[in-house]
Structure 1
C-alpha cells in the first residue's frame, strides 16, 4: 500500500504438496496446508528481510479455523502437534476465511493447463478484494466446530461414590484368611500404611497408579507388626463387625453420649434402647475406643474389663 492507499498484489512464491499415499481426512489435509503456509511465510520473512511487515493467512476451511482459534478443547496428537506449530509462529487474529471461489491455492491443488495458468488473474494477483484498503479486510472471530468432531478428544468424567455399607465389603474380604491371626496382621499392615500416608511420611511414586504398584510400596515399607498394632487391628475388626450388626444400637448410644456431654446430665431416658432390641437386657455402653461392651453391676468386681464387660459380637462372630 502506497501513500495514496493503493494496494498492489503479486505472487512471490507458491507451494503445493502431493497428497500422501496413506489416507488422510480432508480436515487433516487442510490443516497440513495451513502449516505449509506458515513455513513459507517464515521462509519469505527471513529471505526478504522486510521490517514491520504484518502477516495475514487465508484458508477456505472453517474446520481449520476452528482448530486454530480453539481455546477449550483438546485434540488428538496429529491435529494437536500441527495446531501448536501454527500457534507458535502466528496468532489466531492473523487468520481469515476466504471463499473457495476466491482461493488461488485451489488452482495448484486441482491443476490447470499452462495457458489457463498464464492468463489467471487469481493466481498472479490474488482475489480482487485484496486490492482494497487493508482496513476493509474483516477480522475472523472465534470459529466453533462440531462437538462430535473425530479429532476432539472425548472427555470422560468418573464419579466415585462410597456406599454407607462399605464396611461390609471389608469384612467379606477377611473371610478369605485362614486364621484369625493372619486377618489381624493384614489389617495391622493396612492401618500402619494409612497412618504413614496421613502423616505424609511415604511418597508414592508416579508409577503408583494401579494396585500392583501399591502392593510394591507396601512391601518396601513393611516391618513386622508389633503387639500394639495387632491390638489396634483387632479393635478395628470388632468395630467394623459391630457397625454392621448393631448399627441402630450404636446410633442410639452415640446420641446418648453426645447429649450427656452437651447437657452435662444423664440422657439415657431420652435415648434408651427399645425393649425389642436383643441388647436391651445387656445394658450396653461404648468404651473410650467406641467399642460396644456389656454393662451391668458386674463392673464393680475386681476383674479385668474383658471379663467383666466383654465385647458384644453377633452370634456368627462369637463362635470364631
Structure 2
C-alpha cells in the first residue's frame, strides 16, 4: 500500500489461519502477495523454490504436507508480518528536486545459481550539484528449470531477463538504450554476449542472439560477486533482512561516485568457449597430372572460337617479334626493316591461327592418318578418312582437306573445291558450330546451319553434330521451342444435334465498316457485312447492314429467314444490336400469343444463345468465316469506291466463293470422289460459275 506521508510503499499481509497445509493452500497464500515491481523478489523466491520442490516430489493438490515441509512453510509464513517494516520509495528522484536532475541512467545486475536466476534494474539520477541517488526500479527472480542446466546457461537466461526488464523501464521513462549499463559476475556469460552467436550451439546461440538484438556486447561489464546485489536474491532473504538492507534498496555503493571509480576489468574473448560448435575442417585437393607437352591454350578452356583464334594469333605475333629481334641483333637488315607490326591483327595472322587449330583437331582425332599424310605416305585400306581422299593444303601443309573431283574447277574458291576436314567429337568443331549459329542469330535449323558450314568445312557426321548442338544450345531452345497446345473441348450440343438442315442453327457476327459512295459530291456512308454461318454445314450467308442498330439487324435477319428459312437457334456475342434484337423478338412472341406463332417470324420459336462476355473464342466457328470473308473482299476491293449495289454484288460473290470451298480432302487421283462443299448442303451440287466475257476487261479496283 502507499503511504502518502513519506511517499513510500509498504506491504501488509494477513497471517494465514491455522489450517492443515496442502499444496493448494500454499499456492493460494503465495499468490496473495501483490508485488508488481518485484521489490520482494529476494523474499518470494524462497517460497517459489520450495513450491517447485513440492511439484518435483509429486505432492497432490489436496494432499496434506509431511512434517518437514509443514515446518518449512510455517516458518516462511511466520515472516510475513515483518513485511510491514519495509518502506520502499515510490519516486526515483528526490522529492522537490525533479527539475534539477542532470542525467538518468539504468544499471542492470544479473546473477544465477542452481536454485534461481535473477535480474534487477536500478535508476541512477545524477543532479547538477553533483549528488547522486540510486533507486531500485524493477526486479524479478525466477526458479531455475527442473531440467538440469549449467550455471553459465542460467547466467545467460538471467541476462535475457535483465534485457527484458531494462527494455520495459526504458519504454516507461523514455530513455535511450545507450544509457543502460549491464553488470554480471560470470565471465563465461560476458564472453558469450561479446562473441558471434553463429559459433555456438542452437540453444546458446539463440539466447545470445536475443541479447545482442537489443544491445551491444560492449555495454556488459564485470562486477565482483561480493558487490553484485543480484547475488543475494539467489540465496534468499528473510523479510527482516530485506527491510534493513540498504544495498538492496539503494544499489551498491560504487554507483554513487563517478564512472572512473566503477569496477573495471578488461574482457578479452578467447577463441575457444564452452558451447561452441566444433567443426572439423576438411581440406580436399584435386590432384591432376599435367603433362609438359600439353599446350596451355587448350580449347576446352574457352567458349568462343573468335577469342581462341585471336589469342593464338597474338601468340604467333609475339613469337615472330622475338625471332625478328634476335635476327636484328645479329645484323640482319631485312629483319630490322620488318620489325614494326600494326596495332590490329591482320587477316593473314588470323588465318594462320585458324589453320593451327584445324591441324590440332585433325592430329588429335586421326593421329595415324595425319602422320601418314604429312610424311608423304598413302593411307591404309581401313583408314576412316580414305573415302574422303584427303590432301594437304597448299599454303598451310599441316591442314587436311577433302580431295574430291573438283580439282580442275579453278573458277571455284579453294574452300569450296577442297573443304577442311573437321572431326565429329572435337572441341574445335563445337566452337566452330557455335560461332556459325551465333552468326545466324540462332534463327536457322540444323540443316540450314550445316549447309552454311559445308561452304568451308566437311564435318564428319555433320547432321549429328548440328542436331546435337541444337539440342544443347539454350538460345536455340528458347527460339525453337514447341508451344504447348491445349486440348480442344468437345463440340457443343448445337453443333451436333438434329435437325441437320442447312441454317437450322446459325452463328451471326458483323464485319466492317465498308464505305460506299452515294453520288457526286455526297458524303460516303458506312455499310457493314452481316455474316450468318451455319453451325453444322459450314455454309455462309452474307447480308449488307446499313448500321449497327437493332432495327438494321432485324431487317437483315428477316432477309435470311425468307431466303434460308427460319433458324431454330441463333448464337452470337453480347453486341448491343444482338441483345436488342433478342429482346424485341421475345417481346413480339409474348405479344402475339401462342395461337398466332405460325403467322410471324418472331413466333417461330427462335432460341437465342449468347456467348460469355469477353470470350470471342466461344464463337470461333463463325469468327473464322468473318476472317475469310474479309480476306476475300479486301484483297479484291482494297480502297475502291463502290456504290451500295456494287458492294452487295461483291458480298454475294464472296458468299458463293466460300460456299464452294472443300470441306474434305481434295482428290489427287482421277478415280477419287469430288470433295464435299457447303454448296452440296444448299443446292445438292457444287456450283461452277463461268465468268462473263466483259470481266477480263474490268480492273478489280474499278466499278
TM-score range, shorter chain: 0.5 to 0.7
Contact 2:222 2:263 in 1 (8 A): no
CA–CA separation in structure 1 for the residues paired with 2:129 and 2:383? 105
Aligned residue for 1:9, secondary structure, equals strand
Contact 2:170 2:177 in 1 (8 A): no
Q: Tell me which of 256, 266, 276 is aligned to 1:131.
A: 256
- Structure 1 residues 306, 100: CA separation in 2 closer, same or farther (over 3 Å shift)? same
CA–CA separation in structure 2 for the residues paired with 1:304 and 1:298? 18
CA–CA separation in structure 2 for the residues paired with 1:19 and 1:140? 28
Give the C-alpha shift of residue 154 in structure 1: 1.5
- Structure 1 residues 64, 304: CA separation in 2 closer, same or farther (over 3 Å shift)? same
Q: Tell me which of 225, 231, 240 is aligned to 1:106.
A: 231
Give the C-alpha shift of residue 14 in structure 1: 1.2
Q: What number of residue pairs does the alignment pair up?
A: 200
Q: Tell me which of 279, 286, 302 is aligned to 1:155.
A: 279
CA–CA separation in structure 2 for the residues paired with 1:13 and 1:66? 26
Contact 1:63 1:145 in 2 (8 A): no
Aligned residue for 1:58, secondary structure, equals strand
Residue 64 (structure 1) aligns with: 189
Residue 89 (structure 1) aligns with: 214
Give the C-alpha shift of residue 68 in structure 1: 1.2
Residue 268 (structure 1) aligns with: none
Give the C-alpha shift of residue 293 in structure 1: 3.7
- The answer to which structure has the higher strand fraction is 2
Please tell me whether residue 26 in structure 1 is matched to residue 26 in structure 2: no
Give the C-alpha shift of residue 163 in structure 1: 3.3
- Per-residue CA deviations over 1:204-237 (Å, capped at 9, x if unaligned) read xxxxxxxxxxxxxxxxxxxxxxxxxxxxxxxxxx
Aligned residue for 1:15, secondary structure, equals strand
Please tell me whether residue 290 in structure 1 is matched to residue 364 in structure 2: yes
Contact 1:76 1:151 in 2 (8 A): yes
Structure 1: gaps spanning 5 or more residues:
167-194, 200-261, 264-285, 309-320
Higher RCO (CA 8 Å, separation ≥ 6 residues): 1
Contact 1:69 1:142 in 2 (8 A): no
Give the C-alpha shift of residue 291 in structure 1: 5.2
- Structure 1 residues 113, 54: CA separation in 2 closer, same or farther (over 3 Å shift)? same
Tell me the TM-score normalized by structure 2. 0.25
Tell me the TM-score normalized by structure 1. 0.52
Structure 2: gaps spanning 5 or more residues:
1-125, 291-299, 304-318, 321-359, 387-703
Residue 202 (structure 2) aligns with: 77
Q: Tell me which of 241, 246, 260 is aligned to 1:121.
A: 246
Give the C-alpha shift of residue 123 in structure 1: 1.5
Contact 1:69 1:143 in 2 (8 A): no
CA–CA separation in structure 1 for the residues paired with 2:151 and 2:255? 27
- Per-residue CA deviations over 1:246-276 (Å, capped at 9, x if unaligned) read xxxxxxxxxxxxxxxx69xxxxxxxxxxxxx
Give the C-alpha shift of residue 12 in structure 1: 1.6
Residue 132 (structure 2) aligns with: 7
Give the C-alpha shift of residue 65 in structure 1: 1.0
CA–CA separation in structure 1 for the residues paired with 2:263 and 2:145? 34
Give the C-alpha shift of residue 129 in structure 1: 0.7
- Structure 1 residues 111, 301: CA separation in 2 closer, same or farther (over 3 Å shift)? same
CA–CA separation in structure 1 for the residues paired with 2:364 and 2:379? 22
CA–CA separation in structure 2 for the residues paired with 1:25 and 1:12? 29
Give the C-alpha shift of residue 22 in structure 1: 1.0
Give the C-alpha shift of residue 15 in structure 1: 0.6
The correspondence of residues 225-264 of structure 1 with structure 2, limited to 5 A, is none
CA–CA separation in structure 2 for the residues paired with 1:35 and 1:52? 15
